[in-house]
Amino acid sequence: MKSLTPLQIFICFSKIGLSGFGGVLPWTRRSLVEREKWLSSEEFNAMLGICQIVPGPNIVNLAVCVGSRFAGVAGVFAATLGVLLGPIFVVMLLGILYEHYSHLDTVQGMLRGISAVGVGLVASTGFKMVKGEFKYPPMLLVIAFTILAASYFHIALGWVVMMASPLALLLGWKKAQKV
């Protein structure tokens, strides 16, 4: 396993935090899997799956997991501070600007455009993540069930996780035995 310094982790997560405003998951995957190659696609998906189940913001949970894996406790603090410090300052600045300029039509139009970009980025990341699951097609059952339960039947996310988890765990166990 690769060993990283807390400074390397802090810099990477600072870039992530400042790059993907309003939804850093696409930037996180791109940075950790595609650019830095710290995690494989499968490792990222598995780690994110765990991070989505535990309480707290997914990206902070992911920062804790990645920081811990590569640099222990110092890595946890480096990744968490990296992903949070920059955005905190940017949000404070944007809050001040919004307070003064939110009434302008131009500002309202910009905000609508930004929300569309966010939806596109999240969808793009979802498609990239699902590509890895084609290597083990039975796992597509879990994906289909989750999409139907949450989107079509409007079942609360907690219930969807509880219902899908047994099948996902069984299929994940069978997938691991094949490797």
User: Which tokens sit at 114?
Assistant: 């930004």
pLDDT of residue 22: 61
37 plus 124 within the same structural domain: yes
Residue 170: other Cβ atoms inside 10 A: 12
Q: Decide if 1 is inside a domain.
A: no
Q: How far is CA 99 from the centre of its chain?
A: 29
Q: Are residues 149 and 116 in the same domain?
A: no
Q: What is the C-alpha to C-alpha distance for residues 110 and 122, in angstroms, rounded to an integer? A: 19
Can you give the pLDDT at residue 158?
87
165 and 123 together in one domain: no
The tally of domains found in the chain comes to: 2
**What domain range includes position 155?**
136-179
Report the pLDDT value the prediction gives residue 151, as an integer from 0 to 100: 93
Element containing residue 177 per DSSP (H, E): helix 157-178
Residue 63 lies in a domain: yes
Q: Are residues 121 and 140 in the same domain?
A: no
Q: Is position 127 within any domain?
A: yes
Q: How many CA atoms lie within 13 A of 139 on its CB side?
A: 19
In a domain, 80, yes or no: yes
Burial of 129-168, coded b for 16+ CB within 10 Å and e otherwise, reads beebbeebeebeebeeebeebbeeeebeeeebbeebeeeb
Q: Are residues 126 and 140 in the same domain?
A: no
20-41 pLDDT tens trace: 766 788 889 999 999 999 999 9
In this structure, the answer to whether residues 117 and 94 fall within a common structural domain is yes
If asked whether residues 65 and 22 sit together in one domain, one would say yes
Same domain (yes/no): 74, 95: yes
On whether both 100 and 165 belong to a single domain, the answer is: no
104 lies in the same domain as 79: yes
Distance between CA 167 and CA 76 in Å, rounded?
Answer: 31
* DSSP track, 104-138: SHHHHHHHHHHHHHHHHHHHHHHHHHHHHHTTSTT
127 close to 29: Cβ distance less than 8 angstroms? no
What is the rounded CA–CA span in Å between residue 168 and residue 52? 14
Statement to judge: residues 124 and 152 lie in one domain: no
Question: pTM of the prediction?
Answer: 0.67
Residue 13 lies in a domain: yes
- Indicate whether 140 belongs to any domain: yes
All residue ranges of the chain with pLDDT < 50 are none
State the pLDDT at residue 44. 94
DSSP 8-state secondary structure symbol assigned to residue 30: I
